Amino acid sequence: MSASVQRRPGESILSNPLVGRALGCLALSFVLALMIGKQEGTQQDFGLAFRQAVLGPRILWFLLIGVLVFVLLTFWPRVQPYLNRPGIRPLAVGGLTVVVAYALLKWTDSTAVSDGKFGTLSDAASQTGTLAPLARTFFTAPLPWVLFLVAFAVGAAAVVIRRAVLSWVGAAIAVLAGVWAWYSHSLVQSLLGSPDHSTGALVALLGFLTIAAACAATALSAEESANTRGFINGVFAWRPGMPLVGVALLLGLAGFAIATWFSPGNRNATLVDTASMFSTTGLSPLSKAYLGWLGYVLFALSLALAAYAAYRRDARLGWGAAGLGLVSLVLNLVALHDISAVGASTAYDGATGAWQNLGTGGWLACATFLLLAGAGYIVATAGSERGTIARTKADIAAGIGKIPGKSKALILFVLAGALFYPPMATPFWQKVLVSEIGIYVLLAIGLNVVVGWAGLLDLGFIAFYAIGSYTTAYFVGALPIQPPEWMRLSPLLCIPIAIIICLIAGVSLGAPTLRLRGDYLAIVTLGFGEIIRIVAVNNPGNFTNGPRGAFGIPQPEIHLGPIHIDWGQASLQYWYLLLVIVGLVILAFNRLEQSRLGRAWAAIREDEVAAQATGVNTTRVKLLAFAIGASTSGVAGVFFASQIGYINPDNFVLNNSILVVAYVVFGGMGSLPGAMAGAAVLTWLPEFLKDQVPAEDRQMWIGAVILLMMIFRPAGLIPAKRRAAELHGLDEPSSAETTAVAANEGMGATK
């Protein structure tokens, strides 16, 4: 739309599109001012919160946001060409990262600072005379925000003007601001003298470094349009395995040099401090050597061998790097077990067993060795990958062909995070990982079969979750009606029975609904879910124990000869059990998607009549979709019941079914990684917002995130290739402008 719109004679000024747009932007900024903040009313004055939100200087900042949005929308055609410039995307990511660090994250865990946020710490630090002048200056308002705005503005100007000098100036300012923030935070923590595990300063440093990288990319690039996919493909294609080596270098330096290895809540001991602490204890000689010198040597050798193998693309060196990395990983785990066991033997910091009281350093080292071993494996197997390999730089930039080792590298990144991030998390986040994120990821994987692959809208999916849970409760003897003694099982042995029962239930639901589609199918499945819940509440035959549910469900355990594993109450142990279950399900479903049955589901989703006309047995295929999806939900029910130990009908309400559907849609219908990502993000977000916004506003913020996603990325976080092609086509045109046709081409061509 043009930036200037003429008003016709006699026409009201309010009917002018620009005026309406301006009023709408200001109204939205006004609503935003009401949403953000901790202002609350009282029983005596209901308007107090409203006045706190809008009758003060803070409202001017929100109105300024509305003005900026108005300007951006009005001049969007002129702004849009600059959004494809090199460096613009990392600049936006870096700016958002710094804002999150300043506005949301904690900068200290010390009780001397009330909430630990950046604003509170800045107020206290700027008034502390004993703090070093350099740190006190940084925390003096509004200097931190001014530094950020200057770095971001210079970077944005460099992107628009394309001047190398301006780009390097922006990079220098960003690096200076990031290092200054990190150093000032270190001085504050030295003054406070208490262990600190906050992430605000680190995230701010990463954000400023990302802005600096964006400025550097602008200075070094000669292209007019950024090709992010081509750049990423080029990084992975330059030397297969080298990206893993680069990330491992950063993690290893952090783990071996600065991170805590032992007693994070008390001593906050680094690797050097830990070696000194255990030098005179009964630690094994191998673990003492690892803490003292062997760990550093293994890190250096593994890093050098993996980097050299990747650079030379030597398969034999790659296998050597993979073996050395795995051996180093095992030795690192042995050392972690020994120091935690010795510490627990003296009840150090209240530890009662091995793997307790460990810091982040040892787990970062584990991730480092795993990535280095993975880099070696990628180098060793890069030449044997099947498929069309991208050979030229043009193919790589255009995304044509397969990049050797790219998929394996991404899988290894995810695997390293899944294995070694949870031990570094707090007990609260470990519980969230297991009881919410992990279980809902499993549910989303199952529902993706029904909704994403087969295109059948199922709003009663939570019913199979309930069936799996109550099946477990019955066979472990936690319900009023007890099974025969010979049928009483441990929770893990209930998994195949729950799968069979849920398969039958899935077929029972699918059979009467074969003729239904769309909204009608959704209503019937919704009713099925409610029937299961109401049956559980009404307790027929005193089987489900009514609203009281089942309690006393035992924890999983394995007793096979000398092997005795009891999961107990620790969330971390359940995480690894759940990781194995999810991994097996992913492997099975990935093969299923590529099979003949998976292609039949896709055909039904696109056009059921056409699929039936081409020979697809739609009855059988739809029943299999319901049955297979239901069986996955049953496995999740077994895990949930055994991990929580108590269930009742309130755990299986309709809202949970709708949430799982939202996870699949948010992540990307038909995409297995997308369904997992959607479930992880939307279950993590409410827990994260607990400390950021009032409880009453939490759902509003989640709704806003989902709304923005549906507007700007309707295919989901990680869309399926077919879904992305439906929305954007197979090839995105470089320009929307009409291209002139030569005289000798087209319908009126002359020879």
Q: Is residue 628 part of a domain?
A: yes
Q: Is residue 179 part of a domain?
A: yes
Q: Is 80 exceeded by the pLDDT of residue 617?
A: yes
Q: 3-class SS at 3? A: coil
Could you read off the pLDDT of 45-66 as tens digits, one per residue?
667 777 777 777 778 888 888 8
**Contact call for residues 412 and 374 (beta carbons, < 8 A):** yes
Q: Verify that 481 and 366 share a domain, yes or no.
A: no
Measured distance CA(403)–CA(387) in Å, rounded: 10
Q: Is residue 683 part of a domain?
A: no
Q: Verify that 62 and 111 share a domain, yes or no.
A: no
Q: Verify that 481 and 609 share a domain, yes or no.
A: yes
Q: What is the dihedral of CA 167, 172, 173, 175, to 10 degrees?
A: 120
Residue 385 burial by Cβ neighbours in a 10 Å radius (0-12, 13-18, 19+): middle
What CATH number is attached to the domain comprising 164? 1.20.140
Per DSSP bridges, beta strands 550-551 and 557-560 are unpaired
Q: How many CB atoms lie within 10 A of CB 103?
A: 13
**Contact call for residues 653 and 463 (beta carbons, < 8 A):** no
Q: Verify that 253 and 348 share a domain, yes or no.
A: yes
**pLDDT band for position 742 (cuts 50, 70, 90):** very low
Span 325-337, average pLDDT? 94
The residues facing 565 across adjacent strands are: 558
| Boundaries of domain holding 501 | 430-662
Residue that finishes a domain, picked among 629, 644, 662 = 662
**pLDDT band for position 7 (cuts 50, 70, 90):** low
Q: Verify that 91 and 167 share a domain, yes or no.
A: yes
Q: Is 90 exceeded by the pLDDT of residue 552?
A: no
Q: Is 60 exceeded by the pLDDT of residue 727?
A: no
Residue that finishes a domain, picked among 424, 449, 479 = 424
Site of tokens 């000798």 = 744
Q: Is residue 125 part of a domain?
A: yes
Q: Verify that 104 and 61 share a domain, yes or no.
A: no
Q: Give this prediction's pTM.
A: 0.82
**pLDDT band for position 741 (cuts 50, 70, 90):** very low
Q: Verify that 180 and 320 share a domain, yes or no.
A: no
Residue 736: the pLDDT is: 38
Q: Verify that 184 and 218 share a domain, yes or no.
A: yes
Q: Verify that 545 and 417 share a domain, yes or no.
A: no
Q: Is residue 669 part of a domain?
A: no
Q: Is residue 743 part of a domain?
A: no
**Contact call for residues 654 and 462 (beta carbons, < 8 A):** yes
Q: How many distinct structural domains can be found in the chain?
A: 4
Mean pLDDT (the chain) is: 83
Residue 378: the pLDDT is: 92
Q: Is residue 692 part of a domain?
A: no
Phi then psi for residue 365, to 5 deg, are -65, -40
Give the Å distances, CA to CA, from 492 to 51, 402, 497, 549: 57, 40, 10, 20
- With a CB cutoff of 8 Å and minimum separation 6, the contacts of 667 are 444, 673, 674, 675, 676, 677, 678, 679, 681, 716, 717, 718
Closest-CA residue to 244 (of 417, 97, 383, 363):
417
Could you read off the pLDDT of 509-549 as tens digits, one per residue?
888 887 777 788 888 888 888 898 898 888 877 788 888 88
**pLDDT band for position 42 (cuts 50, 70, 90):** low
Q: 3-class SS at 415? A: helix
Span 431-439, average pLDDT? 86
Q: Verify that 343 and 221 share a domain, yes or no.
A: no
**pLDDT band for position 391 (cuts 50, 70, 90):** low
Q: Verify that 359 and 438 share a domain, yes or no.
A: no
Span 266-278, average pLDDT? 88
Residue that finishes a domain, picked among 173, 193, 226 = 226
Q: Is residue 740 part of a domain?
A: no
Residue 707 identity: L
Q: Verify that 197 and 255 share a domain, yes or no.
A: no
8-state DSSP, 240 = T
Could you read off the pLDDT of 63-75 as tens digits, one per residue?
888 888 888 888 8
